[in-house]
Chain A
Amino acid sequence: MTVRALVIDDSRAMRRIVTGTLEGFGYETRQAGHGQEALDVLHEGWVPDLCTIDWNMPVMDGLQFVNAVRANPGWRAVTLMMVTSESEHGQIVRALAAGAHEYVIKPFTADAIRDKLALLGLLPQEVSL
């Protein structure tokens, strides 16, 4: 089983880190620098199992992206995981209410991503330290 992830973050350093972590777990990945670019990838027909989503980005932010994905019934199977430095209690509530499934607060370690994927049933292979 190949699991696909779209990594959405305006920082290319962060995209490289998240992408590298997911590829280490056996994921096939693509990247987007903001929400609109990510929507373009989905419209193109590359619908992933997982999107990791930064909140603050130019053009279209992560919360708008979550709303846009949730508005399209064809994308219901996509798991949405925020990965952001927005870390107020209220912001996490907002993201979950909009339809995000999980929330990773930056800074995070690779272990934190792995634990969340395990919770979501999206860890294709058990990986040791």
Chain B
Amino acid sequence: MTLTATRFDWVRQLVHRESAIVLAPGKEYLVEARLLPLARKMGMSDVDSFVDSVRSRPRPDDTRSIVEALTTNETSWFRDGDPFTALTSTVLPALLSARGPAERLQIWSAACSSGQEAYTVAMLLEDAMPNASARVSITATDISREMVERTRAGRFSQLEVNRGLPAPMLVRHFQRAGSEWEVAPNLRRMVTARECNLAAPLPRMGPFDVVYLRNVLIYFDLPTKQAILRRVRELMRPDGWLFLGAAETTLGVDDSWSRVVLGRTSAYRPLKGA
């Protein structure tokens, strides 16, 4: 059985709107194969009923999982690497001069998926500072328990380590573990993974010096975007740095941030008194 044309079109438009990725006609079987596990998780036996249910009552969690199921095979480590370059070139030196030598730097990878972003930050800091594991703690959060567990395990498949991870970093920070690769124990100790729903009141965390909240806001409506940005700001240090996805901005959403251009990327910093 294949998906009806209207349902396929709805999925295509959703995916295009959220990710700019075009699903060519004829990819109905792919949509069917990728969405069936999601449908079953929701207690439905076929993709048609699942799509109907999400269409009639769209929830960001569902739309996000549909888009993710159809767009991401493996998250790339350094693709769109400018927010990471900015971390070591600008953000870290600024933080080190503003903080005392004994102060811990706290970094948050929000919507961490399987942990590539959190471990990328850990690797960069480990390479950039002599005592990174003693000075930095990275909090990685995701709404999905499965993703939190994967992040905690720090294990990645061959296909995953092939995606945009520089080979010198792979050999420096990973060891083989059977058919997979495992992040070095000192990096795993820097990262704490926990479940967290960004659209609900946030747990007590932080205060964070740096927050990566990339490609998440696109899935939410304006009031929710505003609420998320407000809650994130409450968990940040006043001189902290927020990184959003390349196609995202606080402009026109929440005016309590100032935008700072850092090379080819931008960071957002809490406005004083806002």
Contact = CB atoms under 8 A, between A and B. Distances in A.
Interface of A: 87-89, 92-93, 96, 100-105, 107-109, 111-112, 115-116, 118-119, 128-129
B162 A104 contact: yes
Given A116-B164, A119-B164, A129 B158 contact: no
B164 A118 contact: yes
Contact of B76 (A89, A105, A107, A115): A115
A112 B166 contact: no
27 contacts: A87-B176, A89-B171, A89-B175, A92-B167, A92-B170, A93-B171, A96-B167, A100-B167, A101-B167, A102-B167, A103-B167, A103-B170, A104-B162, A105-B158, A105-B162, A107-B159, A109-B159, A111-B163, A112-B162, A115-B77, A115-B78, A115-B79, A115-B163, A115-B164, A118-B79, A118-B164, A119-B78
Contacts of A102: 166-167
A129 B73 contact: no
B158 A111 contact: no
Contacts of A105: 158, 161-162
Interface of B: 20-22, 73-74, 76-79, 81, 158-159, 161-164, 166-168, 170-171, 174-176
A24 to B, nearest CB: 15
A115 B74 CA distance: 12
Q: Which 10 pairs of residues, A with B, have the shortest CB-CB distance?
A: A115-B164, A103-B167, A112-B162, A115-B76, A93-B171, A92-B171, A115-B79, A129-B21, A89-B176, A102-B167
Contact of A111 (B73, B168, B175): B73
A102 to B, nearest CB: 5
Q: Determine which residue in B21, B162, B164 has the highest number of CB atoms from chain A within 10 A of its CB, and name it.
A: B162
Contact of A108 (B20, B22, B162): B162
Contacts, number: 58
Interface residues of A, dominant DSSP: mixed
Contacts of B170: 92, 103
A89 B167 CA distance: 10
Given A96-B168, A111-B163, A115-B163, A87 B158 contact: yes
Given A96-B171, A129-B21, A107 B163 contact: no
B176 A112 contact: no
Nearest to A118: B79
A118 B78 CA distance: 9
A115 B79 CA distance: 6
A102 B171 CA distance: 11
Given A89-B171, A102-B166, A128-B22, 11 more contacts: A87-B176, A105-B161, A107-B158, A107-B159, A109-B162, A111-B163, A112-B163, A115-B79, A119-B164, A129-B21, A129-B22
